[in-house]
Amino acid sequence: MNELTIQAPAKVNLYLAVHSRRADGYHEIETLMQKLELADQLKLRPGNKGISLCCPDSALPEDETNLAYRAAEVFFAETGLSGGIEIELYKNIPVAAGLGGGSSDAAAVLKGMNTLFSAGLTQEVLLEMAYPLGADVPFFVADFNLVRATGIGEKLEPVEVNAEWQVVLVNPGFSVSTRWAYDNFALTTRSNPYILGRAVIYDELCKNLFNDLESVTIRRYPEIEKIKNILFRDRADGVLMSGSGPTVFAFFLDKTAARRCVEGFSGSDYAVILTKPALF
């Protein structure tokens, strides 16, 4: 195979409770994560030697500080394969936005290189390789689109859902450090038995959207609260900040209402994206 194109989907956290902090710095969490059709695109080609990463039209680093680059390093180290890899990364997912773009890119590199080099690694092996790269990377390696995740996010259980809906993403244009958000959060004991079940009913989901980190980020960035109020005004079925923020998402069963909501932000400085849950 001379070239492989692979999608790296965004995600939103429909529920996020943060519990104890571990000795390694990670936090024990309970979360419900949904992949979206919004995705970065990566093109992979075999190279002569080493790793070459190119991020056209992006300010992303193109060295080992980029998770996609580090994923390629891990793949070669774990498989012992020789040769090289050329990676072109086209960003569609806002950076440092609570949408998991960097983690998804890393997962796409692991899966893509497995295919490109016919390495034959099982998903279980790829998950083991993904774990050291970051808490969200295993989720993007897994074949599930909607999961309950526990531990630091690496223990995954697929969840069923009873409806398709539209997702409006509103990003205010600034970035939020995930580490900062976790470091400034007082741990919770909250747990929601419904949201952590094996199946999701849309109406109940919208009533139970929850994110422990939202209050932390909103205190520093009150613009997020303003965005939430606009989305509620536009009759969204459910509204929440995703991950550590600052992106806010809104759910709509009504496609026309979702489009009108997006149109209502025209002229603003926000990045507004209409997407839906991933089916691929």
Which is catalytic among the residues 136, 212, 234, 237?
136
Q: Is 136 a catalytic residue?
A: yes
Cα distances (Å, whole numbers) of residue 135 to 2, 74, 149, 152: 31, 15, 10, 6
The pair of structure tokens assigned to 89 is 């990364």
Residue 47: enclosing H or E segment and its boundaries? strand 27-47
Distance CA 172, CA 170 (A): 6
| Catalytic-residue membership of 269 | no
C-alpha angle 224/36/147, rounded to 5°? 95
| Alpha-helix residue ranges (DSSP H) falling in the chain | 67-79, 101-116, 123-130, 137-141, 178-183, 202-207, 212-220, 223-233, 255-264
Catalytic, out of 11, 35, 91, 111: 11
For residue 100, how many other CB atoms are within 10 A of its CB? Answer: 29
How many Å is the Cα radius of gyration of the chain? 19
Q: Which residues are catalytic?
A: 11, 136
